[in-house]
Amino acid sequence: MGDADHGAGRPELVRARKRMGMSQDEISAALWVSSTTWSRWERGRQEIRPVYRARMAEVFGVDPAEVERWIEGTAPVDTEAWLIPDFSDFSLGTTVKTADRLWRCDVDPERRHVLAALPFVPAAFGSWLSAWSYGVPEASAAYQGSGPVVGLSDVRRIVEARQAFGQMDRQFGAGLVRPAVVDYLNTTVAPLLRGRYDDKVGAELMTAAAAMTQMAGWTAFDLNHHGQAQHYFGQALKLAKVGDDALTGAWVLATMTHQAVHLEQGAQAVWLARAAVDTARRAQAPPRVMAMLLIGEARATATQAKPAETSDGHSAKQVERLLTEAERAYTQGATDRDPAWVAWNDESELTARMSRCWKLLGDYRRAADCAEFAVRELTVKRPRAAQINQVSVAEAYLGMGEVEQAVDSARAAIPMAKSLTSARSVERVRKFAKRLEPYDTIQVREFRSYLDSELVS
C-alpha cells in the first residue's frame, strides 16, 4: 500500500512521538534521519521505507503492526489514552487538564486496559529530566477554575488519604488498594484541582496531588503495569514542579529509580537517581531524606555496573562510598523538616535496600545479614516488604553456593506472596526459581512443585 501523500497527515504518529516526550528533532535523531524527513512523515508527505518502520518499532517499543497502523491510518489505536506528561508546558491550566484526563481514562472501563498494557519507554526520561532541572513553572500556583473554593483543610484530607492508602498498600499489596486510589484521584482530587485557590493553597494542593498520583503509579508498578506506572510517575513529577516542591520531586524521582532498577534499565536508573540526589542537595534536604536517596543512587550504580560480575573495582568503591555516606546521614536522626513520606524509610527499610547493594557487590554474607534483619523487622508491619526481602535472603545464600539454605528461604516466601495482591511479589519468587535451573536436586524439584501448586499462574 503506497503512502506518498496522506493529505490528512498521520496523527497517530504525532501522538506516538508526544507520548515519548520527544521533539521532532529528538525523534529524528533517534531514527537517524533529518528533522525535515520526520516532519514530512508526520504530515503524510513522504513514504516511510521498511527499514525505518522497523527502527520505529524498536525506538517506540511497540509491535511492528502497531507502527503500520500509525502510518497507514487503518484501524487507529487509541493513543488518546497515552497521556504522557507534556513537560514543555508548565502552565497550571495545562497541568490540571492532563492530570484530569489521565485519571478519567483510568476509571473508564474501555480505556483502563489500554493504560495497563502500555510499554515502559526508557527514552522518555531525557526530556523529563531536562525539563525538571531547567524548566520554569508559573510564578504563582493560584488558580481560578470552575470548581469549588479550596482551602488547606481540603489539602490535609488528601494528605491523610495518601497515608491511609500507603499503609493498606504495604500491608496487602496494590491489587486491593489501587482501584480506590484512582477513584479518589478522579472523584476528589480532580474537582479540587479545577477549583479556586490562592498561591499558598495551590502550592500545597499540587504537592498533595503529586503524592497521590505517585501512589497510583506505585500501585501500577506493584502490579507489573510498567508503562502505566511510568505515566503516573511523570505526571506526579510535573505536579511537584508546578507546586515548586523540590523534596516531593526528589521522592518521585527516587520511585522512578526503583522502577528502572527493577526493570534492569541501569543507565536510566543512574540518571534518575543522580537527579534525585542533586535535587535534594540543592534543596538542603534533611539527613534522612538524603540517606534514602543516596542508597537509591548506590543501588542504581551497582545495577548498571554489576561489580560482582564485572570485577569493576572503581564502581564498587563508588557504591561503597555512597552507602557509607547514607549511613552517616541516617545516624544524624530526624528533624522537624522531614516530609511525611520519609517516616517509612526507617532503619529496616534502608537496611533492606543496602542488602541489594551488597548482593550486587558480591558480598553475599553481608547481603544475607541485612535482608534477614529486614525480614524480622518488617514481617508484622509491612508484609510485602518482608516477602520481597525473604527472597533477597534466598538470593544471597544462592550467591554463597548454599543451595539448600537458599531453597528453604525462598520456600518461606511463597505463602507470604500468596497472601498479598502483589504481582511483583510473585514475580520475585518465580525469578528466583529460574535461577535454580542449574541445580537438579530433590529439594529443588520439590520447591518447584510447591511453587506451582501454591502460586497458580
What tens digit of pLDDT does each residue of 168-180 get?
A: 999 999 999 999 9
Instruction: Tell me the C-alpha distance between 171 and 380, whole Å.
Output: 9
What tens digit of pLDDT does each residue of 109-133 get?
A: 877 877 787 778 787 788 889 899 9
State yes or no: pLDDT of 40 exceeds 80. yes
Give the sign of the dihedral formed by CA 430, CA 436, CA 440, CA 443: negative
Higher pLDDT, 392 or 15: 392
**Cα 189-193-197 angle, rounded to 5 deg:** 125
Residue 127 has a pLDDT of 80
DSSP state of 89: -
Burial status of residue 293 (CB atoms within 10 A of its CB: 0-12, 13-18, 19 or more): buried
- CB of 238 within 8 A of CB of 87? yes
State yes or no: pLDDT of 225 exceeds 60. yes
Fill in the amino acid letter for 31. L
State yes or no: pLDDT of 376 exceeds 50. yes
Confidence of residue 345 (pLDDT cuts 50, 70, 90): confident
DSSP state of 73: -
Confidence of residue 89 (pLDDT cuts 50, 70, 90): confident
What tens digit of pLDDT does each residue of 230-240 get?
A: 999 999 999 99
State yes or no: pLDDT of 58 exceeds 60. yes
State yes or no: pLDDT of 322 exceeds 70. yes
Confidence of residue 82 (pLDDT cuts 50, 70, 90): very low
State yes or no: pLDDT of 8 exceeds 70. no
State yes or no: pLDDT of 254 exceeds 80. yes
Element (H, E) at 222: helix 199-222
If one counts every other C-beta atom within 10 angstroms of the C-beta of residue 379, the result is 15
Instruction: Tell me the C-alpha distance between 422 and 95, whole Å.
Output: 30
The closest alpha carbon to 410, from 450, 353, 370, 453, belongs to 450
Residue 66 has a pLDDT of 82
Coil, strand or helix at 143: strand
State yes or no: pLDDT of 83 exceeds 90. no
Across 308-313, average pLDDT: 93
- Region of 231 (left: φ > 0; alpha: ψ -120 to 50; beta: rest) is alpha
Higher pLDDT, 243 or 88: 243
Higher pLDDT, 307 or 30: 307
How many helices (DSSP H) and strands (DSSP E) are in the chain? 24, 2
Instruction: Tell me the C-alpha distance between 27 and 37, whole Å.
Output: 11
